[in-house]
């Protein structure tokens, strides 16, 4: 193409296709100000907190951001990757990105990742891709179940960045994959393998999903139904009885009612019912993070054992495992059909 350009024409990069893995986000450190910046961006998102801004702004800035960063920073410190000085979410998402890039090598595809909150920002990644000649970009929100609080706001941030571009690339967004047979098989195999590696036989396996206010469900968010469908399909794939695999919801915030049953309360009540051996996983997450490693693997274990439980095990997310990456590659290649 360069031979056809008129004299003094700016360089035109070779056309490429971009693939961006989108995840929630993470603070850059465990200190007060790093966590505060992250929480402010996260909790200022109207997709996440639907309380009217005039009411929420003073609550957030005068109360929540005065005390919550210290508590959250302590929690992040429990699971922080000291060697890389990053949160596990960023480390794992980068591993997924690099692994996918190797799998797609040689097809003029640029693979990168971006965070809805924090760094690397969605805007910076999309601008870098556009400059590199990516005139077609696939956005891949790494959320199996759709919610306005996750998938939609991740896409919103990308659209905001695109809106400021003079030469805007064509864009596709990958759909939620909560009931994709290939995903169910991959997750089901990870559960079966995870249980097989334990030195005890669980009385119950819990699928703990990130919660949301009940009001969001009533307004039409499909997340709750998709979570239950994922677990039902997993149960059918594994051939388990209904009593062996249950759904709970974690990470509630504030005084309003959230989706139930609550994970922490369930873990505190199970030993009283004679269920003293439990395995748990978090199918709403594609990569382990503070909600899985600190809240579930650590905090959940303490709650369960203190209530009289005997054995407790956390089954990791798919992360950059062979099966997890096989699925991400399959999904991305499917969504790129017609472009590649």
Annotated binding site for Fe(2+): 210, 291
How far is Cα 150 from Cα 172, in angstroms, rounded to an integer? Answer: 17
Q: Residue 85: which of 28, 140, 38, 124 has the closest Cα? A: 28
Q: Residue 207: which of 240, 182, 253 has the closest Cα? A: 240
**Which residues, 6+ apart, have CB-to-CB distance to 15 below 8 Å?**
108, 133, 135
Six token digits for residue 159: 């659209």
How far is Cα 279 from Cα 219, in angstroms, rounded to an integer? Answer: 33
- With vertex at residue 113, the alpha carbon angle to CA 286 and CA 160, rounded to the nearest 5 degrees, is 110
Q: What is the bridge-based pairing of β-strands 277-281 and 245-250?
A: unpaired
Six token digits for residue 83: 């060697």
Residue 121: count of CB within 10 angstroms of its CB: 17
Six token digits for residue 158: 């990308």
Q: Is the dihedral of CA 25, 28, 31, 32 positive or negative?
A: negative
Q: Is 55 helix (H, G, I), strand (E, B) or coil?
A: helix
Q: Residue 185: which of 285, 328, 327, 283 has the closest Cα? A: 327
**Which residues does the annotation place in the binding site?**
210, 291
Alpha helices (H) in the chain, listed in sequence order:
32-43, 53-59, 65-79, 88-103, 122-131, 153-163, 181-196, 214-218, 223-238, 263-269, 290-292, 301-306, 322-335
- Asked whether the beta carbons of 190 and 323 are under 8 A apart, the reply is yes
């Amino acid at each position: 193409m360069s031979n056809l350009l008129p004299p003094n024409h700016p360089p035109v990069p070779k056309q490429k296709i971009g693939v961006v893995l989108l995840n929630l986000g993470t603070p850059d450190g465990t200190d007060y100000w790093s966590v505060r910046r992250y929480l402010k961006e996260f909790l200022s998102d109207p997709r996440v907190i639907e309380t009217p801004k005039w009411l929420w702004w003073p609550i957030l800035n005068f109360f929540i951001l005065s005390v919550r960063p210290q508590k959250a920073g302590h929690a992040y410190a429990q699971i922080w990757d000291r060697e890389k000085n990053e949160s596990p979410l960023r480390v794992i998402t980068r591993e997924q990105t690099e692994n996918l890039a190797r799998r797609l090598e040689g097809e003029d595809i640029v693979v990168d990742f971006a965070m809805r909150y924090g760094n690397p920002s969605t805007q910076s990644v999309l601008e870098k891709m556009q400059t590199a000649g990516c005139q077609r970009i696939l956005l891949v929100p790494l959320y199996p179940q759709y919610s306005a609080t996750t998938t939609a706001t991740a896409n919103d941030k990308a659209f905001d960045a695109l809106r400021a571009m003079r030469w805007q690339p064509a864009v596709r967004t990958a759909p939620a994959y909560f009931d994709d047979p290939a995903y169910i098989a991959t997750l089901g195999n990870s559960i079966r393998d995870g249980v097989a590696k334990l030195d005890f036989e669980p009385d119950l396996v819990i699928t703990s999903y990130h919660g949301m206010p009940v009001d969001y469900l009533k307004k039409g968010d499909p997340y709750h139904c998709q979570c239950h469908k994922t677990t039902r399909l997993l149960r059918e794939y594994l051939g388990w009885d209904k009593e062996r695999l249950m759904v709970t919801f974690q990470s509630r915030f504030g005084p309003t009612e959230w989706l139930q049953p609550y994970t922490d309360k369930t873990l505190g009540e199970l030993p009283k019912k004679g269920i003293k051996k439990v395995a748990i996983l978090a199918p709403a997450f594609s990569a382990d993070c503070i909600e899985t490693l600190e809240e579930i693997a650590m905090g959940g274990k303490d709650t369960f054992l203190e209530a009289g439980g005997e054995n407790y095990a956390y089954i990791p997310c798919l992360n950059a495992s062979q099966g997890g990456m096989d699925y991400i590659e399959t999904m991305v290649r499917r969504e790129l059909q017609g472009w590649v």
